[in-house]
């Protein structure tokens, strides 16, 4: 719901220019007040921040920014310089004001007449001259909208008019006229482009009949039930020409009767109409798919086939045209303008009456408001990126029809079937077809809002005002005040059920019943009046966040010409206007005793066995061996047996689910008890903390609990201060010791000495395993070298150490020496030493060469060991 910033701003108080703007002039104050009229009162209109109001039989213009600046700047300033008087023809009290979408025309309606004034730009109206202005005016229908004719009920502008100047007037006798106004062609104000008598159209059977509205009132003595049942109360269009609306909505005219009947006229278009970007693609998709299904032999009535053929013909005529590009109202985009198809009649069939189910008890209808269903984006686009390009938002796939009554009740209905284009047949059909034409349609009564307080305001006219922020929000003006009505709380839930896939259809009736019983429309009173005897005119909602700083305002006035206004918070463009405010997460409670987490029972995830049973029944029914499961339900043994089998399946499954649900319920009960225990523990802990810290002088003392400590805050502060002093003393002592140690130390080693010491340490580690090493163990202690001659236990030498390598060389030397001695003995003992001198001398030479290489290696290793030993001895002597 919108956030209320202020009610009745000060710049509209008594004595301000804003208050005087709605008051009669000094010359008219002695006259009586306006006569009480039986009908809606819409005496305020706006063009942006410009406001037009009817005071008696004159129209006044002003700007909310001018009134606000004048009221806040100088309270005593006269109002003549802040508004202009527009002289309009006519002498009857003005009942309705409405500005065309283009901003060029202002329609001024009385009880029986209608005049259209050509509005000058704002710059021409905003000048210091206080003289009245007489704009160029035309009377609409000088022969039909006269005092002798039936009274005017409403004048609304067609949303699909390219010029924005197409006016639709509806009279009390159910006559609808469409005027394509052009200020350069006076004939457009004299003769309507279309004139329809809904009473004739409701009884017509073919397009060849005459159902046009008569130019003069026909004086007849005959009586017809339609004269009573088809008395028009209000009318509106089903859409505003937005891209996110269903294609047929903006060309559907809804008419509500006093007795409660509702009718629809679709398509009701001017000779030239523009199309939003999604209108033709969405309609083509739906119509073509419907036509294909019916042509494929699907079950369908003769009426459905005729409607599908008519819609295909109509769309084919539109698609064959070459549209004309016309600049849009803001000039930022071009509108595609088409001509109304001529192969079908310009006057469609009257659909209805729509009956409310269940039928409520209500008085007379005073106003009607229709919210268009959203466009079927799944059939229109291929990817979600296209949705963002045209600004599609979440909505409902069915239409919402709101009916206001004179008993301060609002009936919220759903149009589940939807309204599409329909025409009468060219010739009279069969009797069954005529009966289908006369069949009524239904509206599902979703909710009834009763805004009557203690019987106040009964008998007054309630009116709707469209919200400029959200199309699922509207403002209701009643005699007791203005109310903001928002359907957002249940739009998403209902759409999820309606758009559920085929697998989720099971049980949708039960879920819808529960949803309908639990849903609640948000109703927030914006203004509440104590004086219900002075009804309010229909409010206007102005949204302006520019430099004028008008903001978001809902403005109206009473029949006593007193302004009533409410300032609302402008919703953010990045967030949903009704999103809840962010809140900080609560502090964590003490953790309960740990235990195994809850695991859902498997029965919650098991598939039901009934679909398989049902499929078996269908196969049996197809073979003809048993009854027809797809047929109508009848009281027979076959039906009883199927119900018994279904009961056996469902009873076992529901029993298991009931047991699992009972376990979950017991766990939830235990969770609640534990949560209560945690709250009690937290409360006790809070009391104890408060008693210790002294935050609470008299904390709550539980019975049987230990006595709470008093005055503990001072003790804690003393202990903290003592700890700080002790820590400071220790820090000072440590710093003193560090300075003393630095003074007693010797000269530190240089970088090269440290590197040499590290190298010596590595060599020491490599030979530390040699038991015969003359040097001790070299270590680094306090930047000095120390040598330890303590014997270390011998162990296995590592092959990578110098001692290990030396031991390996000695072993090889011994082996080779033994082998040489054995070879020498064998050579000496042989008798035939000289037999093969050459070969023997050659073999002995090879062995001598190998021995020489071995001795050479041994000499190198011995020299290396001696050099290391000598170096270690020098280092030991130097350290000593």
The percent of residues in the chain predicted with pLDDT above 90, rounded, is 22
The CA radius of gyration of the chain, in Å to the nearest whole number, is 49
**pTM reported for the whole predicted model:** 0.65
CB 306 within 8 A of CB 432: no
Cα 172–chain centre separation: 41
* Same structural domain, 759 and 647: no
- 754: which residues sit within 8 A by CB, 6+ positions away? 783
Q: How far apart are the first and last CA of the chain?
A: 95
**Per-residue pLDDT tens over the stretch 89-139:** 878 889 999 999 988 999 999 999 999 999 988 888 877 777 888 899 999
Structural domain includes residue 856? yes
E strand map for 141-283: 152-157, 166-171, 175-180, 194-197, 232-237, 253-257, 262-265, 272-275
Residues of the chain where predicted confidence (pLDDT) is lower than 70? 1, 26-39, 74-81, 215-226, 298, 329-333, 378-393, 428-440, 453-459, 500-512, 528-534, 547-548, 572-600, 602, 622-630, 691-713, 743-749, 766-803, 829-845, 875-880
Query: 103 in the Ramachandran plot: left (φ > 0), alpha (ψ -120 to 50) or beta?
Result: left
Q: Please say whether the beta carbons of 368 and 262 come within 8 A.
A: yes
Is the residue at 760 inside a domain?
yes
Please report the pLDDT score of residue 636 as a whole number. Answer: 76
How far lies 782's CA from each of 744, 748, 754, 790, 869, in Å?
A: 13, 9, 11, 20, 26
The DSSP call for residue 182 is B
501 three-class SS? coil
Burial class (CB in 10 A: 0-12, 13-18, 19+), 684: middle
Instruction: From 619, 653, 687, give the residue that closes a domain.
Output: 653
- How many of the other CB atoms lie within 10 Å of CB of 458? 14
Encoding tokens for residue 818? 């033994």
Q: What's the CA gap between 6 and 602, in Å, rounded? A: 56
SS3 503: helix
CB 390 within 8 A of CB 487: no
Residue range(s) defining the domain that contains residue 608: 602-629+638-653
pLDDT for residue 338 = 93
pLDDT value at residue 794: 44
* Dist CA 555 CA 493 (whole Å): 33
Long-range own/partner contacts, residues 201-206 (CB < 8 A, 24 or more apart): 201/347, 201/349, 201/350, 202/226, 202/230, 202/263, 202/350, 202/352, 204/424, 205/424, 205/425, 205/428, 205/429, 205/434, 205/437, 206/424, 206/425, 206/426, 206/427, 206/428
Q: Please tell me the distance from the alpha carbon of residue 516 to that of residue 75, in angstroms, as a whole number.
A: 52
Is 355 within 8 Å of 441 (Cβ atoms)? yes
User: How many C-beta atoms lie closer than 10 Å to residue 306's C-beta?
Assistant: 19
Q: Which residues pair with 523 in a beta bridge?
A: 485
844 domain residue, yes or no: yes
SS3 237: strand
Query: What does the pLDDT read at residue 318?
Result: 92
**What pLDDT is stored for residue 847 in this prediction?**
75
Tell me how far CA of residue 115 lies from CA of 94, 341, 399, 416, in angstroms: 10, 30, 33, 39
425 belongs to a structural domain = no
Predicted confidence at residue 581, as pLDDT, reads 44
Buried b (16+ CB within 10 A) or exposed e, 144-178: bbeeebbbbbbbbbbbbbbbbbbbbbbbbbbbbbb
pLDDT score of 314: 93
What is the rounded CA–CA span in Å between residue 594 and residue 587? Answer: 19
Q: How many domains does the chain have?
A: 2
SS (H, E, C) 329-364: CCCCCEEEEEECCCCCCCCCCEEEEEEEECCCCCCC
For 416-550, list the strands marked E by DSSP. Answer: 441-450, 463-466, 473-478, 481-486, 522-528, 540-544
Q: What is the pLDDT of residue 878?
A: 56
DSSP one-letter string for 735-754: HHHHHHHHHH--PPP-HHHH
Residue 878 exposure: Cα atoms within 13 Å on the Cβ side: 9
Burial class (CB in 10 A: 0-12, 13-18, 19+), 735: exposed
In-domain check, residue 840: yes
What's the gap between Cα 193 and its chain centre? Answer: 42
Task: Report the C-alpha gap between 255 and 175 in whole angstroms.
Answer: 11
Residue 648 domain flag: yes
Phi, psi of 563 (to 5 degrees): -70, 145
User: For 858-867, what is each residue's pLDDT tens digit?
Assistant: 888 888 878 8
Q: Which residues contact 99 (CB under 8 A, 6 or more apart)?
A: 45, 46, 47, 52, 105, 106, 107, 119
CA distance 50 to 119: 11
CB 350 within 8 A of CB 203: no
Cβ(141)–Cβ(155) below 8 Å: no
On whether residue 803 sits in a domain, the answer given is: yes
Same domain, 648 and 765: no
In a domain, 405, yes or no: no
Residue 460 near residue 478, CB atoms below 8 Å: yes
Secondary element (H or E) of residue 69: helix 64-73
pLDDT of the residue at 660: 87
Q: Give alpha helix (H) positions in 344-458.
A: 377-380, 385-390, 431-437
User: Is residue 278 a contact partner of residue 239, using CB atoms and an 8 Å limit?
Assistant: no
Distances from the Cα of 267 to the Cα of 15, 158, 195, 254, 342, angstroms: 50, 12, 14, 11, 13
Task: Please state the length of the chain.
Answer: 880
């Amino acid at each position: 719901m919108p956030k209320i910033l202020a009610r009745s701003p000060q710049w509209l108080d008594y004595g301000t220019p804003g208050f005087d703007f709605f008051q009669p002039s000094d010359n008219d104050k002695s006259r009586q007040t306006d006569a009480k009229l039986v009908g809606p009162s819409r005496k305020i209109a706006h063009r942006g921040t410009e406001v037009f109001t009817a005071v008696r039989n004159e129209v006044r213009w002003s700007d909310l920014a001018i009134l606000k600046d004048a009221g806040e700047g100088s309270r005593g300033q006269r109002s003549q310089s802040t508004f202009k008087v527009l002289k309009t023809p006519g002498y009857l009290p003005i009942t309705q004001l409405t500005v065309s979408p283009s901003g060029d025309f202002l329609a001024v309606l009385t009880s029986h007449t209608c005049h259209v004034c050509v509005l000058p730009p704002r710059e021409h109206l905003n000048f210091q001259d206080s003289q009245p202005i007489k704009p160029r005016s035309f009377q609409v229908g000088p022969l039909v909208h006269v005092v002798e004719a039936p009274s005017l009920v409403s004048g609304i502008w067609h949303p699909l008019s390219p010029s924005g100047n197409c006016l639709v007037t509806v009279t009390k006798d159910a006559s609808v006229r469409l005027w394509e106004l052009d200020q350069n062609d006076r004939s457009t104000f004299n003769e309507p482009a279309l004139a329809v008598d809904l009473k004739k159209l409701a009884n017509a059977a073919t397009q060849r009949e005459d159902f046009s509205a008569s130019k003069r009132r026909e004086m007849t003595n005959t009586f017809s039930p339609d004269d009573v049942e088809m008395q028009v109360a209000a009318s509106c269009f089903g859409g505003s020409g937005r891209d996110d609306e269903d294609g047929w909505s903006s060309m559907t005219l809804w008419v509500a009767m006093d007795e409660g009947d509702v009718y629809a006229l679709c398509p009701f278009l001017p000779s030239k109409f523009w199309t939003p970007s999604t209108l033709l693609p969405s309609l083509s998709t739906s119509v073509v798919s419907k036509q294909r299904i019916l042509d494929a032999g699907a079950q369908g009535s003769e009426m459905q086939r005729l409607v599908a053929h008519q819609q295909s013909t109509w769309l084919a005529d539109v698609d064959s045209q070459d549209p004309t590009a016309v600049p849009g109202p803001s000039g930022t985009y071009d509108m595609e303008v088409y001509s109304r198809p001529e192969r079908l009649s310009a006057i469609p069939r009257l659909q209805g009456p729509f009956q409310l189910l269940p039928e409520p008890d209500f008085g007379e209808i005073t106003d009607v408001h229709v919210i268009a269903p959203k466009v079927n984006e799944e059939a229109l686009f291929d990817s979600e990126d296209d949705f963002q390009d045209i600004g599609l938002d979440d909505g409902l796939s069915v239409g919402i029809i709101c009916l206001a009554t004179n008993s301060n009740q609002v009936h919220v209905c759903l149009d589940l079937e939807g309204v599409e284009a329909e025409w009468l047949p060219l010739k009279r059909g069969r009797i069954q077809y005529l009966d289908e034409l006369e069949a009524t349609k239904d509206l599902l009564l979703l909710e009834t809002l009763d805004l009557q307080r203690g019987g106040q305001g009964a008998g007054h006219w309630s009116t709707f005002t469209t919200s400029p922020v959200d199309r699922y929000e509207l403002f209701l003006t009643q005699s007791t005040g203005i109310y903001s009505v928002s359907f957002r709380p249940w739009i998403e839930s209902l759409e999820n059920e309606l758009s559920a896939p085929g697998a989720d259809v099971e049980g949708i009736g039960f879920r819808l019943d529960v949803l309908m019983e639990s849903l609640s429309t948000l109703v927030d009173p914006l203004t509440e009046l104590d004086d219900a005897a002075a009804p309010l005119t229909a409010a206007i909602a102005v949204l302006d966040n520019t430099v004028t700083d008008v903001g978001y305002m809902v403005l109206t006035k009473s029949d006593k010409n007193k302004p009533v206004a409410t300032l609302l918070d402008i919703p953010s463009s990045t967030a949903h206007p009704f999103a809840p405010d962010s809140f900080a997460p609560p502090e964590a409670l003490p953790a309960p005793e740990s235990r195994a987490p809850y695991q859902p029972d498997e029965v919650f995830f098991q598939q039901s066995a009934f679909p398989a049973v049902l499929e078996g029944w269908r196969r049996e029914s197809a073979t003809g061996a048993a009854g027809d499961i797809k047929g109508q339900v009848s009281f027979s043994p076959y039906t009883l047996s199927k119900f018994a089998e279904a009961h056996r399946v469902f009873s076992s499954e529901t029993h298991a689910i009931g047991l699992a649900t009972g376990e979950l319920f017991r766990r939830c009960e235990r969770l609640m008890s534990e949560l209560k225990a945690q709250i009690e523990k937290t409360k006790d802990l809070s009391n104890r903390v408060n008693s210790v810290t002294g935050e609470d002088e008299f904390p709550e003392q539980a019975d049987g609990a230990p006595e709470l400590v008093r005055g503990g805050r001072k003790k804690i502060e003393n202990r903290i201060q003592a700890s700080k002093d002790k820590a400071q003393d220790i820090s000072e002592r440590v710093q003193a010791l560090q300075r003393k140690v630095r003074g007693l130390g010797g000269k530190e080693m240089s970088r090269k000495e440290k590197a040499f010491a590290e190298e010596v340490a590595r060599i020491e580690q490599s030979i530390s395993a040699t038991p015969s090493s003359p040097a001790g163990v070299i270590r680094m202690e306090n930047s000095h070298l120390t040598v330890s001659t303590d014997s270390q236990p011998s162990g296995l030498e590592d092959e990578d150490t110098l001692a290990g390598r030396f031991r390996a060389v000695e072993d090889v030397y011994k082996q080779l020496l033994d082998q040489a001695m054995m070879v020498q003995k064998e050579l000496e003992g042989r008798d035939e030493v000289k037999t093969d001198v050459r070969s023997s001398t050659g073999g002995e030479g090879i062995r001598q060469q190998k021995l020489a290489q071995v001795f050479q290696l041994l000499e190198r290793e011995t020299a290396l060991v001696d050099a290391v030993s000598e170096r270690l001895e020098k280092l030991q002597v130097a350290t000593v």
